[in-house]
Amino acid sequence: MIKIYKSYLSLGSNIGDRESNIAQAVTALGVYDEINNLESSSLYLTEPLYNLEQEYFINTVIGIETSLNPFTLLDTVKKIEIMLGRKIIKKKNMPRIIDIDILVHGDSIIETSELVIPHPFISQRKFVLIPFDEIAPDYKIPLLNLSIHELLVSCKDESSVRLHDMEHKA
């Protein structure tokens, strides 16, 4: 019997046609037979953290059901990022065409140099919590045993995160 995992991914872009970059990444994920029942939050316009000398990001969170194990999902995500033009050598907090992070993968708890699940900064980032709260407010994060909504309410991040208005692009 094939095990199916409920996973959530964070997607962000702040170079080029940000909306298209996100849409292409979501479409690419949907091509895989092992990824199903994809649901997406709205798009959010978010202030960059740390390196403020860059464009605002467009962010979303998507939920998927997948038979891929966490490391195979990571490989898949990396392939999609490269296909969309992301540089293999990446510096932290720099502009990017696409960034896809695995937030959670079923009840997996992983801590390796390559992959940490649940994502180590999930509770500190409104640009993740706000869209995640839109699609799964009651989802409890393994290890933390707190719901997304509880994490959002207690989040100290004060950066700007607002619904992206497609009519008036920022």
Q: What is the mean pLDDT of residues 144-149?
A: 94
Residue 170 has pLDDT above 50, yes or no: no
Annotated catalytic residues are 86, 96, 99, 101
Per domain, the residue ranges of the chain are: 5-163
Instruction: Name the pTM for this structure.
Output: 0.93
Q: How confident is the model at residue 96 (pLDDT cuts 50, 70, 90)?
A: confident
| pLDDT tens, residue by residue, 5-19 | 999 999 999 999 999
The domain 5-163 belongs to what CATH superfamily? 7,8-Dihydro-6-hydroxymethylpterin-pyrophosphokinase HPPK (3.30.70.560)
pLDDT of residue 151: 97
| Distance (Å) of CA 118 to CA 89, 104, 142 | 23, 5, 7
Rounded average pLDDT over 97-118? 95
Asked whether the bond before 118 is cis by omega within 30 degrees of 0, the reply is: yes
